[in-house]
C-alpha cells in the first residue's frame, strides 16, 4: 500500500513537470512563429537584437561632407573675412570639433595660375608643425561650388573676442601673448622655404584661455617665397597691411608690421585706423606713413616704442627673432612662461 502511494506521488510529479515543459516549449514555438509572421507581413520590422539605423532626423545635421566622408560641416558660421568663411565642423574619425574654412576662388578667376600655386602652397602648409601654429588637417577644391576648402584645428576664441571679453589685461599678459605670436612667425619666416602669412590680425590669432596658449591661424592665404624672400601679390586686411604690400613688392617683414598693429589693438581695444570710413582713406594714411589715431591711447611708453619699431620702415623693421630678444619682452617674463 505504501509503495503504491509513493509510486502514485512520483507519477503525479512526473506528469506535472512534463506538462510544464510542454507548455514552455509550446509558448516558445508560438513566439517564434509570431516573429516570423511579423517579418513576413512587415519587411521593415526588426528583431529586438537588431540595431536599426538612426532616423534621418537623428543623424548629424551636416550641411555638406568632404569627399573622404571624414569631415562634416554644420551651418554655424564661426567667422568670415575678405575672401573666406569659417564654419563649425566635426571630424568623425577622431571625434573632435574642427573648423571648416572656405575660400571663394572667384576672387582669383582672372588668373588660373594663382589657383594652381595656391594648391601647391597649401600642400606645404599642411606639413608645418609648431606649437604656436594652428594645425591644417586637410584641403580640397570643390569644382561645383568653385571653392577651396581647408580643415583646421578648432579654437575656442580669437584674440579680438577674448580681449573684448577680458578688458582689464596687464602688460605682462600681453608680453606673454606677443612672445608666442613671434615664435610662430619666426618659425614661418625661417622655414625652408620662407612662409609669409600676409593676413595676420587679431581675428586669426587664437587663444586657449585656460592655459593662455596662443596660436596663429588662417594660413590659407600665406605665400611661399624663395631665397630672395620677395613676394608680389596683393592680399590681406587693409588695416593691418604694411605700406609695401600695396606696392606688391615685399618680404616677410610685412608680418612684423601686422604684428605691431595686433599689439596696438590688444592694448587699445580698437582696430587700427578705425577713424577712417573708407578703404581709400586707410590706403592714403598707410602709404603716407601716418600712424593710427589709436596710437595716442597707448599710455605705456615702452609698449608704444616697441609698437613703433614693429610698424616702422621695412629697412628699419626688426625680424621676429630680433624682437624676441628685445628687452621689452624679456622684462618680467619668467622662464616657465616662455615655454607656453
Q: How many separate helices (H) and strands (E) can be counted in the chain?
A: 11, 11
Which among 139, 144, 108, 106 is positioned nearest to 121, based on CA atoms?
139
Cβ atoms of 201 and 239 within 8 Å: the answer is yes
Structure-block grid coordinates of residue 233: 601679390
- Phi then psi for residue 265, to 5 deg, are -65, -40
Taking CA atoms, 23 is separated from 13, 20, 134, 241, in Å, by 15, 5, 69, 87
Which among 58, 124, 69, 71 is positioned nearest to 102, based on CA atoms?
71
∠ Cα 163 158 220 (to 5°): 145
Helix (H) or strand (E) holding 25, with range, is helix 2-41
Q: If 0-12 CB within 10 Å is exposed, 13-18 middle and 19+ buried, where does residue 197 land?
A: buried
d(CA 205, CA 66): 25
331: Cβ contacts below 8 Å, ≥ 6 apart: 175
Q: Out of 186, 218, 267, 326, which one is annotated catalytic? A: 218
d(CA 2, CA 13): 17
Q: What are 323-327's contacts with CB under 8 Å, separation 24+?
A: 323/182, 323/256, 324/179, 324/182, 324/183, 324/186
66 has catalytic annotation: no
- Dihedral over alpha carbons 196, 197, 201, 206 (to 10 degrees): -130
User: What positions carry a catalytic annotation?
Assistant: 218
Amino acid at each position: 500500500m505504501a509503495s503504491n502511494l509513493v509510486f502514485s506521488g512520483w507519477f503525479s510529479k512526473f506528469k506535472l513537470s512534463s506538462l510544464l515543459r510542454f507548455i514552455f516549449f509550446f509558448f516558445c514555438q508560438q513566439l517564434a512563429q509570431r516573429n516570423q509572421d511579423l517579418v513576413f507581413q512587415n519587411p521593415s520590422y526588426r528583431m529586438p537584437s537588431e540595431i536599426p539605423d538612426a532616423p534621418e532626423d537623428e543623424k548629424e545635421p551636416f550641411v555638406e561632407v568632404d569627399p573622404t566622408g571624414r569631415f562634416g560641416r554644420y551651418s554655424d558660421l564661426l567667422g568670415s573675412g575678405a575672401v573666406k568663411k569659417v564654419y563649425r565642423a566635426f571630424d568623425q574619425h577622431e571625434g573632435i570639433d574642427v573648423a571648416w574654412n572656405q575660400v571663394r576662388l572667384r576672387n582669383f578667376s582672372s588668373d588660373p595660375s594663382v589657383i594652381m600655386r595656391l594648391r601647391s602652397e597649401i600642400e606645404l602648409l599642411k606639413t608645418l608643425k609648431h606649437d604656436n601654429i594652428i594645425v591644417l588637417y586637410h584641403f580640397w577644391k570643390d569644382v561645383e561650388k568653385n571653392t577651396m576648402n581647408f580643415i583646421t584645428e578648432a579654437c575656442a576664441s580669437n584674440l579680438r573676442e577674448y580681449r573684448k571679453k577680458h578688458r582689464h589685461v596687464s602688460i605682462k599678459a600681453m608680453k606673454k601673448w606677443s612672445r608666442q605670436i613671434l615664435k610662430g612667425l619666426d618659425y614661418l619666416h625661417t622655414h625652408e622655404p620662407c612662409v609669409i602669412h600676409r593676413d595676420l590680425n587679431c581675428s586669426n590669432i587664437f587663444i586657449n584661455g585656460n592655459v593662455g596658449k596662443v596660436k596663429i591661424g588662417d594660413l590659407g592665404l600665406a605665400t611661399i617665397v624663395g631665397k630672395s624672400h620677395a613676394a608680389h601679390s596683393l592680399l590681406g586686411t587693409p588695416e593691418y597691411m604694411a605700406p609695401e604690400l600695396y606696392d606688391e613688392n615685399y618680404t616677410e617683414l610685412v608680418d612684423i608690421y601686422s604684428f605691431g598693429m595686433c599689439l596696438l589693438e590688444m592694448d587699445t581695444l580698437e582696430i587700427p585706423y578705425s577713424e577712417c570710413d573708407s578703404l581709400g582713406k586707410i590706403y592714403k594714411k598707410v602709404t603716407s606713413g601716418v600712424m593710427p589715431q589709436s596710437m595716442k591711447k597707448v599710455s605705456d611708453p615702452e609698449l608704444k616704442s616697441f609698437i613703433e619699431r614693429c610698424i616702422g620702415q621695412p629697412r628699419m623693421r626688426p625680424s621676429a627673432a630680433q624682437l624676441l630678444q628685445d628687452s621689452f619682452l624679456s622684462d618680467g617674463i619668467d622662464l616657465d612662461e616662455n615655454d607656453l
